[in-house]
Structure formats: structure tokens, C-alpha cells
Amino acid sequence: MKKLQAGLRLIQAKFRHRKQPPVLKKKPQILPHPAYRSHLIAVNAIPHHKNYQSKAPLSFPIQSSLGRLQQRTRNGLRRLEYQASRINELSTELEAAVLELKAIASQVNRDLKALQATQQPRSKAIAPKVCEYRAANLPTVYQKPSGLFVLTSRSVDLFKAEREAKVLAQVLRHRARRKRLI
């Protein structure tokens, strides 16, 4: 942003000595009747000659242009922050949906095993799993202290709940054993 402001100040300094061009009102253009438009002749643009001098490159007020550019930049930064926030919200929702998919698949696997056990009690056939899990990554956006937005990905730990359940079960078993010994 600072570089942009410095560049705009430089442009202002270069063109400050120029006078503002007078505002000319255009005459209203009268279009021919639609029935006669097909008879119009196309005219090519006037070719540029060596002696042809064009108007000043900046024939508009610099202040209003600078203000519009600053406003557009502020609006763009706000939109960027909003979009980054939206991506992170969607990523969180997607993570919850993935974990829900895993929970549903686990329930279906248990039900299939129970169903297979009732239909073929003597058979030791293993029920096929309904879902296979691989590494899953989700997009995330963060902002550095410098203001730079970084789009990256984060991994989803699909087996975190199982590990936490095992640790909790071990802790509870350990407590139960200590109570029996006391």
C-alpha cells in the first residue's frame, strides 16, 4: 500500500504543473431512423502521423483518480479478508462433514459385521469395509503480520477421536485398578 501511495505521489508531482483541460459538453448525437442505418458508411480511424500531437496522457483530475484508486484498494482488501474468512469457515464445515462421514462409515461397518454374524455364524469371512481412509487436506488462509495472505492446506486427523478414546480408556482402567488395590 505504501508503494502504491508513493507511486501516486510521484505521478501527482510530475503532472501538477499541467492545467486542467476545460470540460466540453458534447452535442447530443442524433441517430438515423433504424430503417436507414444499413446505408451508413464505416469510417476508419485517423492514422497517427509523426506531426500528430495527442492530448496529455492524464487529462483527468489526479486527486479524484487517486481517491477512487484508494477506495478501490480498501474495498479490495476488505473483500480479500472476507473471502479468506469464508474459506476458513467452509474448511471447518468440510472437516466436520468428513469426520461425520467417517462416523457413519464406522457404524455401517459394525452393522455389516453384525449382519454377517447372524447370517453365517460359523463362517469366519471378514466383512468388506465400506470406506477407505487416506490423507485428507483442507484449504486454509492465514494472514502474516506484514499483511500478506497465505493460502495453504492443513491435514485432517481422521483417527484423533479413536486415539483419545484409547487414552481415556487406559486412564480409567488404571484408576479402577488403583481403587481395587486400596
Q: What is the pLDDT of residues 71-112, one digit of tens each?
A: 999 999 999 999 999 999 999 999 999 999 999 999 999 999
Nearest Cα residue to 88 out of 154, 20, 175, 164: 154
Nearest Cα residue to 158 out of 78, 120, 104: 104
| Residue 147 region by backbone torsions, left for phi larger than 0, else alpha for psi between -120 and 50, else beta | left
**One-letter amino acid identity for 5?**
Q
pLDDT of residue 102: 93
Residue 178: band (very low, low, confident or very high) from pLDDT cuts 50, 70, 90: confident
Residue 168: band (very low, low, confident or very high) from pLDDT cuts 50, 70, 90: very high
Q: Which residue range(s) make up the domain with 78?
A: 64-156
Mean pLDDT calculated for residue range 114-120:
84
Give how many domains the chain has, as a whole number. Answer: 1
68 assigned to some structural domain? yes
2 assigned to some structural domain? no
114 assigned to some structural domain? yes
Between residues 132 and 28, which one has the greater pLDDT? 132
10 assigned to some structural domain? no
161 assigned to some structural domain? no
Mean pLDDT calculated for residue range 42-46:
46
Which runs of E-coded beta strand occur in 22-148? 136-143
110 assigned to some structural domain? yes
pLDDT of residue 45: 47
100 assigned to some structural domain? yes
The per-residue pLDDT of the chain, averaged, comes to 78
111 assigned to some structural domain? yes
Between residues 52 and 182, which one has the greater pLDDT? 182
Residue 182: band (very low, low, confident or very high) from pLDDT cuts 50, 70, 90: confident
Between residues 56 and 118, which one has the greater pLDDT? 118
